[in-house]
């Protein structure tokens, strides 16, 4: 599911960057990646559509309750180096 996928990315980014990243931040950063590409003048006809999709995912991820977030964290099955 997109919830588990974004949580898995958040877990990986958190380990790599050594800071806590939330799944909703992953979606927000992916939107910014698409915007950055556009600002460089690198045309990709899917960027606008992708950014819209990440925006919808961000909205959904920010509305999860704590139980759904914890379930996604368990399902992502990533061992954090600080645990």
pLDDT tens digits for 35-79?
A: 998 888 878 888 899 999 999 999 999 999 888 888 888 888 755
**Proportion of the chain in helix, strand, coil states, percent, rounded to 5:** 70, 0, 30
Quote the pLDDT of residue 82.
47
pTM of the model: 0.81
Quote the pLDDT of residue 83.
47
């Amino acid at each position: 599911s997109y919830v588990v996928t974004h949580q898995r990315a958040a877990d990986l980014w958190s380990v790599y960057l050594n800071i806590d990243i939330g799944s909703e931040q992953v979606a927000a950063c992916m939107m910014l990646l698409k915007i950055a590409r556009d600002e460089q003048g690198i045309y990709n006809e899917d960027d606008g559509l992708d950014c819209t999709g990440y925006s919808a995912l961000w909205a959904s991820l920010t509305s999860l309750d704590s139980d759904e977030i914890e379930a996604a964290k368990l399902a992502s099955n990533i061992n954090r180096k600080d645990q």
